[in-house]
Amino acid sequence: MASVKKELVIEVPAENIWAIIRDFAAGPVRMAPGYAIDCKLVGPDTRVVDFANGTTLRERLVTIDDDEQRFVYSIIGGSVTPEHNNATMQVFPLGDGRSRFVWIHDVLPAELAQAFDAGMDEGLRTFKQAQEGVAS
């Protein structure tokens, strides 16, 4: 198993970032518009996310913890089919209208970690630009 961890400071209050992350129905498109191009619910705890690069992910909601501002999901299919995947996104207030965002993917087989790493980097670049542009 491999873990890929990314952290990002965003010049936007935590409650604004959390409102996007916890939105299971539209969060990916709100988070990274243009990178994530569509998100469809296909059940109460399952969504399909389409990305501009042609990747499609079927994701299952594990939990939304409003107290900890922590969102947990798993990739369960699509064009990437890991043997195991568990992902968390968590938002921490830093004060002065800033947030720290932490995103972790645990994935099997470990060989998928490199692809996850690159995809997460691109998604976070888009996320930061989109959210800080809104805040400006």
Helix (H, G, I), strand (E, B) or coil at 98: strand
What is the pLDDT averaged over residues 69-75?
98
> How far, in whole angstroms, is CA 14 from its chain's centroid?
15
Output phi, psi for 54, to 5 deg: 95, -10
Q: What is the CATH number of the domain that holds 93?
A: 3.30.530.20
Q: What confidence tens digit (pLDDT) does each residue in 79-92 have?
A: 988 999 999 999 99
**Dihedral (C-alpha) 28, 33, 35, 38: value to the nearest 10 degrees?**
60
What is the pLDDT averaged over residues 35-60?
96
Tell me the residue range of the domain where 104 lies: 2-135
What is the rounded distance in angstroms from the CA atom of residue 12 to the CA atom of residue 97? 5
Q: In total, how many domains does the chain have?
A: 1
What is the pLDDT averaged over residues 9-18?
96
pLDDT at 136: 43
